[in-house]
Chain A
Amino acid sequence: MMEKIKKNKFLLFVVLIYLILLLSNTEKAIISFKNSGYYIKEMLMIMPVIFVLTALIEAWVPKKMIMEHLGDGSGLKGSFISLLLGSVSAGPIYAAFPVCKTLLKKGASISNIVVILSAWAVIKIPMLANEAKFLSPKFMATRWVLTTIAILIMGYLISKIVRRKDIPMDSEKINDGEIVIKEEYCIGCGICEKLAPNYFKVGNKKAKVVNSKAEQEMEGAIIKAIEKCPTKAIAMGDKKLPREKVGK
């Protein structure tokens, strides 16, 4: 109960204002409610589409294939692929941190990582639909073009400022066969619970490890969960994990 209140404190705050207003100035409360009406209606029309579109992109865009073309010297092609990868991903920018760290370890260049992070933050395709709806298609298109240019320039500049050695690479040691979830990155999607219910459980919008010792026969399911995790928040201490190289 307390958790629920904490998570929705903003909503609670707004509801409280309405209640106070309803008692002190009923007329204004009703006007406010009516003023929200237009935006609620518009949101209801666009939300289901964005919801389905996000799911379809998640299901059909072959991210793994995209990720194989991000190395140093991948040039302009690498930049565009990075732009694409960021644009089709779901979740807030911090959800992209572990994904990008994984890519960096596999050899993706710094400029490409900057492009992915930035694109992930600002130019997600379902969000563009929402922007066009509430501002205007022209507004959205102009901002998209300018932002894309800015992101590509930023990738180039940062790759000149920051060197590979500036980036901490050694992650904390995990014991063999031990499963760990970086909770700050979990978006509560529930894929891991579905794939390996004996090991993961989602509660309070975050996945938790219920059994941290991976048994031999279940390793396949766990590795699948690690690979499918959209924010790469799960790690298992095991040298046998498949490590694909990132090509050029």
Chain B
Amino acid sequence: MDIFTKVLWLITGIWFIISMIKDKKRTLDAMKMSKKMMGNMLGQIIAILFLIGLILTFIPPHVINEYLGGSNIFLATVVSALIGSITLIPAFVAFPLVGSIVDMGASIVPAVAFLTTLTMVGFVTFNLEKQEFGKKFALARNGLSFIFAIAISMIMGVIL
């Protein structure tokens, strides 16, 4: 276990103990809610984890390197951002997937673009958003989010 995970376990563990001492019922009620939400995602999480195995086995690293790490970074980034916009999977399951592809040699620029639009831009939920906040708001928010996602990914490519 890496240091980061250990620290997280430690902090969460201490907080959990304090929480149980202070208000047992409140803690357990919140745990129940969290459990239901996690349970709803479990099928997707397992599926993604096994899908990663298939990707690692069947897509050779040089292909990933060519399409997601080669000279066409900008195009790859825009395409990744578009895919992120139309996909509706929880970020929770996207991190291991993106992590595995980056480990195989993909550039982080398209990876960041995908992760950012995945959560911020919602093509599927656009209608819901329009219904609650109006067309102008939904267009402005999703459009700007897409542009900023690309910008963030480019800056990260320069910094990291």
* Interface residue ranges, A against B (CB under 8 Å): 7-8, 10-11, 13-15, 17-18, 21, 28, 31-37, 39-40, 42-43, 45-47, 49-56, 58-60, 90-94, 97-98, 100-101, 104, 110, 113-114, 117-118, 121-122, 124, 127, 129-135, 137-139, 142-143, 146-147, 150, 153-154, 157-158, 161-162, 166-168, 184, 187-191, 194, 202, 205, 230
Q: Complex: how many Å from CA A162 to CA B132?
A: 14
Q: How far in angstroms is the closest Cβ of chain B from A248?
A: 22
| CB–CB A150/B134 < 8 A | no
Q: Which of A43, A137, A157 contacts B4 (CB 8 A)?
A: A137
| CB–CB B54/A129 < 8 A | no
B56 contacts the other chain (CB 8 A): yes
Contact digits for B115-145, partner A, Cβ 8 Å, 1 yes 0 no:
1100110100100110111101100110011
| B129, closest chain A residue (CB) | A97
| A146, closest chain B residue (CB) | B152
Q: Do A60 and B47 contact each other (CB < 8 Å), given the known contacts A17-B54, A52-B12? A: no
| CB–CB B40/A205 < 8 A | yes
Q: Which of A42, A55, A161 contacts B27 (CB 8 A)?
A: A55
| CB–CB B34/A58 < 8 A | yes
Identify 5 new A-B residue pairs, CB closer than 8 A, beyond the known A32-B53, A157-B140.
A39-B49, A55-B34, A59-B30, A100-B132, A191-B33
Contacts of A104 in B (CB 8 A): 133
Contacts of A168 in B (CB 8 A): 131-134
| CB–CB B16/A52 < 8 A | yes
Q: Complex: how many Å from CA A24 to CA B92?
A: 32
Q: List 10 A-B contacts (CB under 8 A).
A: A8-B43, A36-B50, A43-B45, A51-B35, A52-B34, A54-B34, A56-B30, A142-B159, A166-B137, A188-B40
| CB–CB B102/A135 < 8 A | yes
B67 contacts the other chain (CB 8 A): no
| CB–CB A190/B32 < 8 A | yes
Q: Which of B92, B102, B160 contacts A50 (CB 8 A)?
A: B92
Q: How far in angstroms is the closest Cβ of chain A from B110?
A: 13
Q: Complex: how many Å from CA A124 to CA B100?
A: 22
| B2, closest chain A residue (CB) | A133
Q: Do A117 and B141 contact each other (CB < 8 Å), given the known contacts A39-B96, A166-B134, A190-B33? A: yes
Q: Complex: how many Å from CA A150 to CA B141?
A: 12
| CB–CB B19/A59 < 8 A | yes
Q: How far in angstroms is the closest Cβ of chain A from B29?
A: 7
Report the 6 A-B pairs with minimum CB-CB distance, sorted nearest first.
A36-B53, A134-B99, A59-B30, A55-B34, A11-B47, A32-B53
Q: Do A40 and B49 contact each other (CB < 8 Å), given the known contacts A55-B30, A142-B160, A188-B36? A: yes
| CB–CB B156/A146 < 8 A | yes
